[in-house]
Structure 1
Amino acid sequence: MHPIFEFEAMVKHRERAAGRIGPLLPVLEDLGERLLDRLDDTSRRFATALDFGGRGAIAPALAERGMEVVSADFSPAMAARAGGKPLVLPGPNDFGLPEGGFDLVVAHLALHWLDDLPGALIQLKRALKPDGLLLASMPVLGTLQTLREALLDAEEALTGGVSPRVSPFPELRDCAGLLQRAGFAHPVADVEELTFLYANPLDLLHELRDAGETNALLDRQRRTPPRALFPAALAALPVQEGRMAATLRMAILTGWAS
């Protein structure tokens, strides 16, 4: 498998974001509740839960539901602030999770920076007890699409070349298949599409940085971009109600361990 992301850069971005993410928690919590609403669809009760990369938006909500929560992250600082018992994951190829240790695993907007998504899902399934539940959310194709296109167009106009600045996202139709390949029973994937409006377009870039979503693509441009790049790209983004619009297409995945 050809690597897409630089793991060390992703961890560094999450470490820096741990001290900045507070103002974004209401948004992450709202998105998290859309995921955790799926718990209302089952009569199963869960005692032990793994919060995988939840950044403080998941563990408190699970604890309020009476669960004992372990918060795992590749970033020590993010694991420490997530709200459960902190667990620092050693690396992307071996999470080091206890086999059959949890009734519930929740991975909220935490899988899309990993090269081996099927392998990550297999590891999370292994961490579940029989009949345990995985809930996961991730951005899918269409997320930040207008920003991706605007950056490519602006960079080509300014420099005659382009470099990747927005991550590739999977297609929704592939998500249930990924769960099935990982061995989950009753795999389901649906999507919620949300539009965020910004009076100041730069706020979008600042929020992505403060959430730990800075570009970690292995093939990213390492040189400082032209000063005019981001203003030109942001000026080309669509406007709704007088504000710049950005779209998140969030897939919600559910699957049961057999």
Structure 2
Amino acid sequence: MTEPTPILFDRRLLAARLARARALGPAPFLLDRITEEMAERLHAVLRDFNAIADIWTPGDALPAERFPNVRHVDIDPSGDEALNLAPGSLDLAVSALGLQFANDLPGVLAQIRRALKPDGLLLAALTGGDTLTELRQAFAAAEAEIEGGVSPHVAPTADLRDLGALLQRAGFALPVTDVDRVVVRYDHAFALMQDLRRMGAGNVLIERRRTPLRRATLARMANIYAERFADPDGRIRATFEIIWLSGWSPHDSQQQPLKPGSAKASLAEAVKRLGTK
């Protein structure tokens, strides 16, 4: 009997936070960077993509002038993660800053894999484990000092190696993962937190703290942040780690891995030849 998937994220609250971000005037610098990079990566793929789905991106993952016919799959506030994509219907699936909110990421990746035609492509970007590490550490230290305990403020994120394994588990061929680290500087921690609100990136964990933070805790957090993570000019650093995922729906035309024992030259022989040069 399989264990039920743990519910980590309050999807209704996430939808409300994204709506508030749009009302406040969004801070799209991170999404803009990702969408620009995504268009460049797709430009390097020498093929046309006609049937495209954009999955859970809080905006547009692809420029409309280059990709005019994109189906948008929005996050369901009820928490239902069924993507409702017909099997074998897509040439390309993309997602920018959306998959990190999946409660069942293996299940979502498997759905995408089934929706791709043979030799169809998934290209996605999501936040990785070092995202907002400075804010996480500053909050933990402040709460431990002022309140005698620590509550989660930043959502858990997947590890690069784990994501590569998940792509393989979902049935993708030629899986690739890589990391882009973006460091943004702010005058103080509260300016960072305001940007996070305008990105819709507030705390949406089910196990989040439900009572307001004490003013003393917030003030101490800002002080610790400045003490530990400020540059010589006094401005603080905030790290955003972006993990890129790509994988193909299997097809006979793709390069196949060698069978064990089929290599024509051994590693030992190669090393021996290098040693004689």
**Band of TM-score, shorter chain:** 0.7 to 0.9
Letter in 1 for 2:87: E
Question: Is the Cα contact below 8 Å between 2:58 and 2:97 reproduced in 1?
Answer: no
Task: Return the offset for 1:103.
Answer: 1.3
Q: Quote the Cα distance in structure 2 between the aligned partners of 1:203 and 1:175.
A: 31
Aligned to 2:75: 74
Choose from 40, 45, 54 the match for 2:43: 40
Q: Does residue 211 in structure 1 map to residue 199 in structure 2?
A: yes
- Secondary structure (helix, strand or coil) at the match of 1:137 reads strand
Greater alpha carbon shift after TM alignment, 8-17 vs 153-162: 8-17
Aligned to 2:114: 126
Question: Is the Cα contact below 8 Å between 1:155 and 1:161 reproduced in 2?
Answer: yes
Question: Is the Cα contact below 8 Å between 2:54 and 2:60 reproduced in 1?
Answer: no
TM-score, normalised to structure 2, is 0.81
Higher strand share: 1
Pair 1:122–1:236, CA change in 2 (3 A): same
Choose from 158, 177, 184 the match for 2:165: 177
Q: Quote the Cα distance in structure 2 between the aligned partners of 1:5 and 1:56.
A: 20
Q: Does residue 17 in structure 1 map to residue 21 in structure 2?
A: yes
Question: Is the Cα contact below 8 Å between 2:12 and 2:78 reproduced in 1?
Answer: no
The Cα offsets for residues 116-173 of structure 1, whole Å up to 9 and x where unpaired, read as 1111111122222221111111111111111111101101111111111111111112
Aligned to 1:239: 230
Q: Quote the Cα distance in structure 1 between the aligned partners of 2:234 and 2:18.
A: 32
Question: Is the Cα contact below 8 Å between 1:90 and 1:96 reproduced in 2?
Answer: no
How many residues of Structure 1 are paired with residues of Structure 2 in the alignment? Answer: 242
Greater alpha carbon shift after TM alignment, 227-236 vs 239-248: 227-236
Q: Quote the Cα distance in structure 1 between the aligned partners of 2:139 and 2:25.
A: 25
Question: Is the Cα contact below 8 Å between 2:11 and 2:78 reproduced in 1?
Answer: no
Q: Quote the Cα distance in structure 2 between the aligned partners of 1:92 and 1:126.
A: 18
Question: Is the Cα contact below 8 Å between 1:46 and 1:67 reproduced in 2?
Answer: no
What is the identity percentage for the equivalent residue pairs of Structure 1 and Structure 2?
Answer: 36
Question: Is the Cα contact below 8 Å between 2:21 and 2:197 reproduced in 1?
Answer: yes
Gaps of 5+ in 2: 251-277
Aligned to 1:256: 248
Choose from 9, 13, 37 the match for 1:5: 9
Q: Quote the Cα distance in structure 2 between the aligned partners of 1:100 and 1:203.
A: 45
Q: Quote the Cα distance in structure 1 between the aligned partners of 2:109 and 2:197.
A: 26
Question: After TM superposition, which residue ranges in structure 1, 4 or more long, deviate above 4 angstroms?
Answer: none
Letter in 1 for 2:74: D
Q: Quote the Cα distance in structure 2 between the aligned partners of 1:101 and 1:230.
A: 49
Q: Quote the Cα distance in structure 1 between the aligned partners of 2:56 and 2:203.
A: 17
Aligned to 2:132: 144
Letter in 2 for 1:239: A
Gaps of 5+ in 1: 76-88
Pair member with larger Rg: 2
Q: Quote the Cα distance in structure 2 between the aligned partners of 1:91 and 1:125.
A: 21
Q: Quote the Cα distance in structure 2 between the aligned partners of 1:36 and 1:21.
A: 24
